[in-house]
């Protein structure tokens, strides 16, 4: 799957307008927003905002860390890290529309001075070696086939002793039901299993400190999602079908959800 195909899959053209309409329908004023107001829509991953907080707590932020958020989407996790944990965040995403929306939402919640958003490719990060204290990514690797290059790039920009924190979907047992939120069919889905993931991380110089399987929680999460004015259904077409299939995949162990924190110790 090319970078352009990934970006096209997530592009709508009127996403900011849809979010503002959803905010108004939920009784929120787009001119007076808080980070919490946006949480139902801007944490576009399994378990939503609580998953962001759980990964942040597992990472053990002390405040003041320089963080690279790879695949930042609309910027929900970046805003949580900046507002709640005192981080300075650089967020990158392939999708220009997501970058534009993230920048505008950062401005509206008063965090534009703590978060920088840039369109960039995770396989060719435009940063110097050993720049960041933490690299952070949530539900991104399933769209990336060349995972060896991905983890090499993440390792390259991390300081020695820095941390990689991710929350991802990985391959389980059996064929995956499609469509799902990241792919309409198998040709553009690139899930790796646990053994392969651990080998890739080790080869890039990462030592796994936490590997937590939260598949059961993920299946339950999608089972209790209800229609609301503001939610992930605004971000992609056919979301009820895609989320229903993801719930089935998680419930049957065809896809697994894992939370992981690694320390970079050098290749």
Where are the domains positioned within the chain? 3-264
Q: What does the pLDDT read at residue 235?
A: 84
User: Would you call 62 helix, strand, or coil by DSSP?
Assistant: coil
Higher pLDDT: 255 or 8? It is 255
Cα distance between residue 180 and residue 176, in whole Å: 9
pLDDT digits (tens, 9 = 90+) for 33-63: 999 999 999 999 999 999 999 999 999 999 9
Report domain 3-264's class: alpha beta
Q: What does the pLDDT read at residue 267?
A: 59
pLDDT digits (tens, 9 = 90+) for 132-183: 999 999 999 999 999 999 999 999 999 999 999 999 999 999 999 999 999 9
Please, which contacts does 182-191 make with residues 24 or more away whose CB atoms are closer than 8 Å? Answer: 182/9, 182/139, 182/142, 182/143, 183/9, 183/142, 183/143, 184/9, 187/1, 188/1, 188/5, 188/9, 188/143, 189/142, 189/143, 190/1, 190/141, 190/142, 190/143, 190/144, 190/145, 190/147, 191/142, 191/255
- Answer whether 0.85 is exceeded by the pTM: yes
């Amino acid at each position: 799957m090319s970078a352009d195909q990934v970006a096209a899959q997530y592009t709508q053209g009127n996403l900011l307008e849809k979010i503002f309409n959803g905010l108004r329908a939920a009784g929120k004023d787009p001119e007076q927003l808080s980070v919490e107001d946006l949480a139902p829509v801007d944490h576009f991953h399994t378990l939503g905002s609580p998953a962001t907080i759980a990964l942040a707590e597992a990472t053990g932020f002390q405040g003041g860390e320089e963080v690279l958020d790879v695949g930042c989407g609309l910027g929900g996790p970046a805003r949580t890290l900046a507002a709640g944990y005192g981080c300075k965040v650089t967020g990158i995403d392939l999708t220009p529309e997501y970058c534009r929306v993230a920048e505008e939402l950062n401005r509206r919640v008063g965090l534009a001075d703590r978060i920088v958003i840039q369109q960039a490719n995770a396989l060719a990060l435009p940063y110097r070696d050993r720049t960041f204290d933490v690299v952070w990514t949530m539900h991104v690797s399933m769209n990336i086939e060349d995972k060896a290059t991905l983890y090499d790039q993440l390792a390259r920009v991390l300081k020695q002793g820095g941390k990689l924190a991710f929350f991802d979907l990985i391959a389980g047992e059996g064929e995956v039901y499609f469509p799902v939120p990241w792919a309409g069919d198998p040709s553009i889905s690139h899930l790796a299993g646990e053994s392969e993931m651990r080998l890739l991380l080790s080869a890039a110089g990462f030592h796994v400190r936490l590997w937590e399987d939260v598949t059961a929680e993920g299946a339950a999460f999608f089972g209790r999602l209800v229609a609301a004015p503001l939610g992930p259904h605004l971000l992609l077409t056919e979301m009820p079908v895609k989320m229903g299939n993801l719930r089935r995949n998680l419930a049957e162990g065809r896809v697994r959800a894992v939370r992981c924190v690694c320390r970079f110790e050098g290749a």
